[in-house]
Structure 1
């Protein structure tokens, strides 16, 4: 019997509960969305391990952010652990208001997402969104984003299109989380600067000499893009799958936990399942807290 199974027994996770009987048959297979960010990929990997030990089957769909919300709204995906707010408000709010998507929990209450800059330009005076245009030559007229369709990319594109902060002559470079980080790390090694989408939790905050820019409140929110991450589900999920809804309401993380999960992957460990299991075995108290009031699925 593995350690997670011991935890389940310790918390009275029993077969045949009335709550389990009330679950719809469609809850046997849970589909989670993954947009490819390391933090969401790893929290999703952890969730899959917990669900498997509880007797559920799982699958993951790799989707862009807009595709994720469309899939949730149409019931083609059950749960997404990466609803960053307020940055994603434009994508998700209409569906929340209509009831086609429901919020289950804030799984990480204090995060950050906005534009950041490397140390050389920051020390030279690039400390606010309004400063970026003055450093066009040093930056090569480029701002580095992540995958196409990401809401942060969209906000930068709007600023460029509408010449907000004098950014008309800039270009947004879209690639991926890994591609963006590779470019920024090379720039740091060469003593150059770069403006890019930055967020925490993420090991980039330790690996890069980076500073978040002020002045982007209208686009990324106040306090240097302070935000929260929510777990959202398709509309009707709580009614259909009350046992699972309880699990996802219990499932919260910390910045330290997510940094630990991401660091191993970014350091080259490609077996995400193994990384997730190792982390869970080292953090039984957190896993235990997720299982309170949750029942194991009947065979």
Structure 2
């Protein structure tokens, strides 16, 4: 019997398996057999994500909640750079990257590792890389930056060195707009970039930072995107759930569940805001429960109900 997956429906289908999963929490082996017999774990799924990239943080905890309720054990593996995460995914050291940008931003990683990676599905289809300035800035376009190099101290404030956004800024934006002589891309971390953004906007000073959409900082800070008339940052792309090769064969029911998660702008925005801002670190499980309660129709997954 098939059914639409929602919080209440999932609880109904997973009620019997959840107790068994908790009882068998020490078992780390094997994929699912499609039914998960009595006393058996459906297997352990390792989610690899970068905590400072809050799209992956939010969806990692969403998957942890849903997969646990469906009878799986979930291990959370945090990394600091995209390169090591793609390497781990390709080698099978992690089973899933829960919020990847493989179409544009991470295309180079997919070229290198794609043969050993499986696309389990896209959950959001309007992601975009940007350069952003404060709303009070006179700058309207990336092409305006050279005229304001002195005010900006010749710096574009970036995020992690291994980020796809960093690569796109270095290899596309800077040469396309002729910024190489006047500007340096300063990389550190997402947290470091946000700290510089807060400092500048609090003081009403000029700053240009690398940002992206969707990201909670776009509404938390008084910023706007610079126009990109040369298209140096690429087109909008989808955010995907990527699995290690063979994931859907080994964890077929989990793959069906994951493939059915589809979020629009409002649903994604509220998920990230609840996990990152409203509840915060250490209360991610509570945030997910609250979000699912408010968004029961965010899933289109068809699962086989256990009898």
- The TM-score bracket by the shorter chain reads 0.7 to 0.9
Shift of 1:7: 1.8
Say if 2:119 and 2:243, in contact at 8 Å, map to a contact too.
Answer: yes
1:19 aligns with 2:37: no
Matched residue, 1:59: 75
Correspondence for 2:58 among 4, 17, 42:
42
Aligned pair in 2 of structure 1 residues 282, 132: CA closer, same or farther (>3 Å)?
Answer: same
Shift of 1:256: 1.5
Shift of 1:221: 0.8
CA–CA distance in structure 2, aligned partners of residues 261 and 9 of structure 1: 20
* Secondary structure, aligned partner of 2:273: helix
Matched residue, 1:89: 107
CA–CA distance in structure 1, aligned partners of residues 142 and 203 of structure 2: 24
Correspondence for 1:203 among 216, 222, 225:
216
1:110 aligns with 2:154: no
Shift of 1:206: 2.0
Shift of 1:294: 5.1
Shift of 1:262: 2.4
Shift of 1:9: 5.7
CA–CA distance in structure 2, aligned partners of residues 119 and 212 of structure 1: 9
| Mapping for residues 74-153 of structure 1, pairs under 5 Å | 74-84=91-101, 85-96=103-114, 98=115, 100-121=116-137, 124=138, 126-153=139-166
Say if 1:187 and 1:194, in contact at 8 Å, map to a contact too.
Answer: yes
CA–CA distance in structure 1, aligned partners of residues 213 and 16 of structure 2: 38
Correspondence for 1:242 among 246, 252, 274:
252
TM score, norm. by length of structure 1: 0.82
Q: Which has the higher contact order (CA 8 A, sep 6+)?
A: 1
Shift of 1:29: 0.4
Report the RMSD for the aligned CA atoms in angstroms. 3.0
| Mapping for residues 275-294 of structure 1, pairs under 5 Å | 275-287=287-299, 289-290=300-301, 292-293=302-303
Aligned residues: 281
Correspondence for 1:28 among 37, 43, 46:
43
Shift of 1:204: 2.2
1:167 aligns with 2:177: no
Structure 1 residues without counterparts, runs of 5 or longer: none
CA-to-aligned-CA distance 1:267-293 (integer Å, 9 cap, x gap): 563221211121112222225x34x22
Matched residue, 2:226: 213
Shift of 1:69: 0.6
CA–CA distance in structure 2, aligned partners of residues 48 and 277 of structure 1: 11
CA–CA distance in structure 1, aligned partners of residues 167 and 127 of structure 2: 20
CA–CA distance in structure 2, aligned partners of residues 160 and 218 of structure 1: 9
Where is the helix percentage greater, Structure 1 or Structure 2?
1
Matched residue, 1:261: 271
CA-to-aligned-CA distance 1:186-238 (integer Å, 9 cap, x gap): 2122111211112222222223332222337554213xxx2211111111111
Aligned pair in 2 of structure 1 residues 295, 178: CA closer, same or farther (>3 Å)?
Answer: farther
